[in-house]
């Protein structure tokens, strides 16, 4: 049993999609969320830069006494989680594009994956894709510009719609029946995506799986918070706090912090 908080970090506000799943499954846990919006997007940075930023975020969360860290960013997970696990004793939960369930379920033998350049070019992503993509067409698409627009609060803008239209076109032409969202910012695009994709296309993201894995690891290590009161959830951003506040519907305490 541990009342210490769960730490969560992302390059910005996208990891709140993971926070919401964790909150739904583990309402009594305290959480501390770091939005590294000042350094967003991570997707076009080098592996070394992504590792250094992930270390910076991890050290702050450890200083804030977190018992487990959720790397709520596909780009940071696929580029840095191995180094983090080798460098620190506390458990890390990562998020990777859900290629496996899509590849196992596709009927059209074509799936789409939308993610950052950093994720799609990572070794970890290639390993997983190679493992499950035998006989399946995987249409990879870098979501260039998407994270920046979401960070600016322009999720439903005309600019976003036109980017998505361009990115989805080759996938629709290839007759995909699954679209994998490989970035924690993208679940906020689901209403737009559903409007643009043919009705039979299913969208998969890994948010709930990450929450379940977080719970399982806390149980295994006897770190679950078993008190019966609602957890306290704190949010820190080193960018504009308004956008983070909006995405959380003003429900939580959001503070500016330089880190």
Which residue from 5, 6, 9, 14 is in contact with ligand DGL, where contact means CB under 6 A?
A: 14
Nearer to ligand DGL, 214 or 225 (CB): 214
Least Å distance between CB 214 and ligand DGL? 16
The number of residues that bind ligand DGL (CB under 6 A) is 17
* Binders of ligand DGL in range 129-158 (CB under 6 A): 147
Which residue from 119, 206, 214, 233 is in contact with ligand DGL, where contact means CB under 6 A?
A: 119
| Position 239 contacts ligand DGL (CB under 6 A) | no
Least Å distance between CB 28 and ligand DGL? 26
Label each residue of the chain as H, E or C: CCCCCEEEEECCCCCHHHHHHHHHHCCCCCEEEEECHHHCCCCCCCHHHHHHHHHHHHHHHHHCCCCEEEECCHHHHHHHHHHHHHHCCCCEECCCCCHHHHHHHCCCCEEEEEECHHHHCCHHHHHHHHHHCCCCEEEEEECCCHHHHHHCCCCCCHHHHHHHHHHHHHHHHCCCCEEEEECCCHHHHHHHHHHHCCCCCEEECCHHHHHHHHHHHHHHCCCCCCCCCCCCEEEEECCCHHHHHHHCCCCCEEEECCC
Nearer to ligand DGL, 175 or 246 (CB): 246
Which residue from 26, 34, 40, 203 is in contact with ligand DGL, where contact means CB under 6 A?
A: 40
The residues of the shown chain that bind ligand DGL, judged by CB under 6 A, are 10-12, 14, 40-43, 73-75, 116, 119, 147, 183-185
């Amino acid at each position: 049993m541990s009342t210490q908080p769960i730490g969560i970090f992302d390059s910005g506000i996208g990891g709140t999609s993971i926070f919401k799943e964790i909150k739904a499954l583990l309402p009594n846990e305290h959480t501390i969320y770091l939005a590294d919006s000042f350094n967003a997007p991570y997707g076009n940075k080098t592996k070394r830069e992504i590792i250094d930023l992930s270390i910076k975020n991890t050290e702050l969360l450890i200083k804030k006494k977190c018992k487990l860290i959720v790397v709520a960013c596909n780009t940071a997970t696929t580029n840095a989680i191995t180094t983090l696990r080798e460098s620190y004793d506390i458990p890390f939960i990562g998020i990777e594009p859900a290629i496996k369930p899509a590849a196992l379920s596709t009927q059209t033998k074509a799936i789409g994956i939308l993610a950052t350049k950093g994720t799609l070019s990572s070794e970890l992503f290639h390993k997983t894709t190679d493992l499950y993509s035998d006989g399946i067409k995987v249409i990879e698409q870098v979501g260039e510009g998407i994270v920046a627009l979401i960070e600016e609060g322009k999720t439903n803008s005309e600019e976003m719609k036109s980017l998505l239209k361009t990115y989805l076109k080759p996938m629709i032409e290839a007759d995909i029946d699954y679209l994998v969202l490989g970035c924690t910012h993208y679940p906020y695009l689901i209403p737009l995506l559903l409007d643009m994709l043919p009705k039979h296309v299913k969208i998969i993201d890994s948010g709930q799986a990450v929450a379940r894995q977080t719970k399982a690891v806390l149980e295994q290590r006897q770190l679950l918070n078993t008190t019966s009161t609602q957890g306290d959830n704190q949010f820190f951003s080193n960018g504009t706090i308004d956008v983070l506040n909006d995405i959380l519907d003003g429900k939580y305490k959001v503070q500016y912090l330089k880190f």
